Structure 1
Amino acid sequence: MNHIVGLVEDDPNIRDIVEGYLLKEGFQVKALDTAEKAWEVFAQEPPDLWVLDLMLPGMDGYEFCKRVRQSSEVPIIIISAKDDEVDKILGLELGGDDYLTKPFSPRELVARVKRHLKRWEVMQPDQMNVQEDIIRAGSLLLNETERSAYFNNQEVEVTTKEFEMLRILAEQENRAFSREELLVKVWGDDYFGSDRAVDDLVKRLRKKMKELPLETVWGHGYRLRSSRES
């Protein structure tokens, strides 16, 4: 799938350079010099991701970002010469997903574009309906083919055993697994170590995903509580 990237930048040199890098990576690009033109594109054929400058003539990037967020969660990467922390916070609070300060590396921008599009694609409901390798449990999403994990829409780096633990618990939400059972399922029935390995693994997962409803069943083991329960 050739993703479409909307590039809104009034500096022709920066616009041409970024467009060239994106085209080289196989993206389709709608390069625009004003937010007004970008808004027309958004209304007619919205791109899959926006690369947005803040300081624009007429409607600025803040206002454009705010308008887009009223009806869409499409990724927005902000690029700006404004490097004050308050500007970054405002841009992110208005709905930006990422923020790059000028001057920046075009290669880094392309890498971030790829990462955000990957996350966006995985999180789409229509994708989940057709991909049998997607497991979802509340705010936790696992992609078995990529062996990747997402929590609260953010990718989380997990080890092979951490992924296996999450998969086992997510496939049967609310079921209490004993430590011995998890030890066999994750490490294999030929593992002769202590079941403390299970506790250590759970501890690491809780540290990486602080709001994950991974509960201790005292005297038994662990369960992943369903977010549908009150």
Structure 2
Amino acid sequence: MKQLKVLIADDDPNVCEILSLYLKENQHDVVEANNGQQAISLFDSENPDIILLDIMMPDMDGFEVCKEIRKKSTIPIIMLTAKDEEFDRILGLEIGADDYVTKPFSPREVMARMKAIFRRLPTMENTSSEENQEDYNFKSFSISVKKREVLVNKTRLFFRPKEFDLLLYLIRHSNAVLTRDQLLEKVWGFDFIGEVRTVDVHIKRIRDEFAKHNIHCIHTVWGVGYQFLMKEEE
């Protein structure tokens, strides 16, 4: 993994110190915020590559910080939470976080999550000439792998990195019915320690973005998983 600038936003000085030392030992740059407002300010001024964002912080909690940052950036965000409850994990994903880590955690686990997020398309399945192509063109939209963008009538849709990866994997396996476990394994990777609901949250966000343009191309196969299928009218 390349050298990164990491913004750690946590009001617990012990957490900041442990993460900072470990990241610096692995040749990454670190900036630290102790509250929500400071996190947003440092995001604007320091231009980090990824944010490790605690949920429970003074001034603004991590959810509010994530919402504000998502208004202007697709930067990867990993939520740090002391609450081991499904509601908190799913809410974080729904408002735009890419992953979450439940406290107490080891710095190595956080690093593994970071590596998983930055593991992009070249490491995904690439076994045919079709999967090597850089553009997919449909009646309703087009997708450029090289530019990592989706266009509808020259309007770029807003997809976060993992949402784009998930959409692309579904497109590359058009018509196939893929289980949630398959999608977790192929898109998030073997080292992702998550749950199948993560897939549902990302699918919902993709669908919502397409629905703004009346495009309905990802279908639920009840009891199995999801399928990318373009119907005649689309």
- Report the TM-score, using the length of structure 1 for normalisation: 0.58
Identity of aligned residues (%): 36
Q: Which residue of 2 aligns with 1:12?
A: 13
Task: Identify if the C-alpha distance between structure 1 residues 87 and 30 changes in structure 2 by more than 3 Å, giving closer, same or farther.
Answer: same
Is the counterpart of residue 89 in structure 1 residue 105 in structure 2? Answer: no
Deviations 1:37-86 (A, max 9, x none): 11111222321110000111111111101100111111100011011111
Q: 212, 215, 220: which one pairs with 2:228?
A: 212
Could you tell me how far apart the structure 2 residues matched to 1:52 and 1:45 are?
A: 15
Could you tell me how far apart the structure 1 residues matched to 2:26 and 2:72 are?
A: 28
Task: Identify if the C-alpha distance between structure 1 residues 202 and 98 changes in structure 2 by more than 3 Å, giving closer, same or farther.
Answer: closer
Is the counterpart of residue 58 in structure 1 residue 69 in structure 2? Answer: no
Aligned partners of 2:52 and 2:77 also within 8 Å: yes
> By how many angstroms is 1:118 displaced?
3.3
1:72-221 pair list within 5 angstroms: 72-119=73-120, 135-137=134-136, 141=145, 152-154=163-165, 206-207=177-178, 208=182, 210-213=226-229
Aligned partners of 1:7 and 1:32 also within 8 Å: yes
Aligned partners of 1:139 and 1:153 also within 8 Å: no
SS, match of residue 211 in structure 1: strand
> By how many angstroms is 1:155 displaced?
6.3
Query: Which amino acid in structure 2 is aligned with residue 92 of structure 1?
Result: L
Could you tell me how far apart the structure 2 residues matched to 1:39 and 1:45 are?
A: 10
Rg larger in 1 or in 2? 1
Deviations 1:168-224 (A, max 9, x none): x97xxxxxxxxxxxxxxxxxxxxxxxxxxxxxx998x542564334xxxxxxxxxxx
Q: Which residue of 2 aligns with 1:46?
A: 47
What do you get for the CA RMSD once the two structures are aligned? 3.6
> By how many angstroms is 1:119 displaced?
3.4
Could you tell me how far apart the structure 2 residues matched to 1:153 and 1:27 are?
A: 26
| Unmatched segments (≥5 aa) in structure 2 | 124-131, 137-141, 147-160, 184-225
Q: Structure 1 residue runs of 4+, over 4 Å off?
A: 138-142
> By how many angstroms is 1:121 displaced?
10
Query: Which amino acid in structure 2 is aligned with residue 108 of structure 1?
Result: E
| Unmatched segments (≥5 aa) in structure 1 | 123-132, 143-149, 159-165, 171-200, 214-224
SS, match of residue 78 in structure 1: strand
Could you tell me how far apart the structure 1 residues matched to 2:96 and 2:64 are?
A: 10
Aligned partners of 2:5 and 2:29 also within 8 Å: yes
The number of equivalent residue pairs is: 159
Higher relative contact order (CA 8 A, sep 6+): 2
Task: Identify if the C-alpha distance between structure 1 residues 151 and 47 changes in structure 2 by more than 3 Å, giving closer, same or farther.
Answer: closer
> By how many angstroms is 1:20 displaced?
1.2
Deviations 1:100-154 (A, max 9, x none): 11001210110111221333999xxxxxxxxxx7734356959xxxxxxx98434
Could you tell me how far apart the structure 1 residues matched to 2:101 and 2:75 are?
A: 17
